[in-house]
Chain A
Amino acid sequence: MNTVDGPGRASRAVAVTGMAVTTGYGHGVDALRQGIWSGEPAFVPVTRFDTSRYAVGVAAESPGAVDLDSELIALTAEALAQAGLSESERADAPLVMARHADPAVSRLPREEQESRPISETARWLSRELGLGGAGRTYINACVAASTAIAEAAALISSGRNDRVVVAGGHLVDAESFTTFNAGKALAKDGRLRPFSSGRKGLLLGDGVGAVVLEAVDSRPDMRPLARLSGWGMAGDAHHVCQPHPQGLGTARAITRALDRAGLGPADLDYVNAHGTGTPYNDSAETAALHLAFGEHAERIPVSSTKSMHGHALQAAGLVEFVICVLALQQGSLPVNSGYLGPDPDCRLDLVLDSPRQVEARHVLSLNAAFGGANTALVVSAA
Chain B
Amino acid sequence: MTIAGDPVTRPLTVLARASWSAASDDRPPSLPGFTASPFAPIIAHVADLCLREHHKEPPAPPERAESTAMVLVSQLGDMATEAAVVESVDKATRASPLLFFQSVPSAVLGVVSARWNLGGAVITISPAGDPLTEAMDLAQLLIEDGSATDVLLVLIELAAREGLSDHAEALLVSGGEPA
Given contacts A119-B126, A122-B128, A371-B122, A184 and B113 within 8 Å (CB-CB): no
Tell me whether A372 is interfacial, beta carbon within 8 Å. yes
Question: Are the C-beta atoms of B104 and A136 separated by less than 8 Å?
Answer: no
Question: Are the C-beta atoms of A103 and B160 separated by less than 8 Å?
Answer: no
Closest residue of A by beta carbon distance from B66: A252
Given contacts A181-B95, A237-B114, A256-B147, A139 and B105 within 8 Å (CB-CB): yes
Interface positions, chain A 31-84, Cβ under 8 Å from B, are 53
Contacts of B70 in A (CB 8 A): 235
Closest residue of A by beta carbon distance from B128: A134
Among B86, B108, B124, max chain A CB count under 10 A is at: B124
Interface positions, chain B 42-89, Cβ under 8 Å from A, are 65-66, 69-70, 72, 74-79, 82-83, 85-86, 88-89
Question: Are the C-beta atoms of B75 and A183 separated by less than 8 Å?
Answer: no
Distance in angstroms from B173 CB to nearest chain A CB is 17
Contact with B along A144-166 (1 / 0, CB 8 A): 10010011001101101000000
**Majority SS at the chain A contact face:** mixed
Question: Are the C-beta atoms of A182 and B97 separated by less than 8 Å?
Answer: yes
Q: A138 to B72, alpha carbons, bound, how many Å?
A: 10
Tell me whether B36 is interfacial, beta carbon within 8 Å. no
Among B78, B89, B94, max chain A CB count under 10 A is at: B89
**Majority SS at the chain B contact face:** mixed
Contacts of A241 in B (CB 8 A): 100-101, 107, 110
Contacts of B66 in A (CB 8 A): 252
Interface positions, chain A 97-143, Cβ under 8 Å from B, are 101, 103, 105-107, 110-111, 113-114, 116-119, 122-123, 133-141, 143
Selected interface stretch from A22-30, A171-179, A265-273, A349-357: A171-179
Question: Are the C-beta atoms of A118 and B126 separated by less than 8 Å?
Answer: yes
Question: Pick the contact of A239 from B6, B110, B123 — CB < 8 Å?
Answer: B110
Distance in angstroms from B3 CB to nearest chain A CB is 18
Question: Are the C-beta atoms of A183 and B97 separated by less than 8 Å?
Answer: yes
Interface positions, chain B 107-142, Cβ under 8 Å from A, are 107-111, 113-114, 116-128, 134, 138, 141-142
Contacts of B74 in A (CB 8 A): 139
Tell me whether B19 is interfacial, beta carbon within 8 Å. no
Question: Are the C-beta atoms of B109 and A372 separated by less than 8 Å?
Answer: yes
Given contacts A235-B70, A237-B119, A370-B110, A113 and B76 within 8 Å (CB-CB): yes
Tell me whether A234 is interfacial, beta carbon within 8 Å. yes
Interface positions, chain A 176-216, Cβ under 8 Å from B, are 178-185
Question: Pick the contact of B127 from A136, A175, A240 — CB < 8 Å?
Answer: A136
Tell me whether A5 is interfacial, beta carbon within 8 Å. yes
Chain B contact-residue range equals: 35 or more
Distance in angstroms from B125 CB to nearest chain A CB is 4
Question: Pick the contact of A178 from B65, B88, B128 — CB < 8 Å?
Answer: B88
Q: A103 to B65, alpha carbons, bound, how many Å?
A: 36
Closest residue of B by beta carbon distance from A183: B100
Contacts of B177 in A (CB 8 A): none
Question: Pick the contact of A182 from B6, B96, B106 — CB < 8 Å?
Answer: B96
Contacts of B88 in A (CB 8 A): 178, 182
Given contacts A239-B110, A241-B107, A154 and B145 within 8 Å (CB-CB): yes
Question: Pick the contact of B100 from A101, A140, A180, A260 — CB < 8 Å?
Answer: A180
A: residues with CB less than 8 A from B are 5-6, 9, 53, 101, 103, 105-107, 110-111, 113-114, 116-119, 122-123, 133-141, 143-144, 147, 150-151, 154-155, 157-158, 160, 174-175, 178-185, 232-241, 248-249, 252, 256, 260, 369-374
B: residues with CB less than 8 A from A are 6, 33, 65-66, 69-70, 72, 74-79, 82-83, 85-86, 88-90, 92, 94-97, 99-101, 103-111, 113-114, 116-128, 134, 138, 141-142, 144-147, 160-162
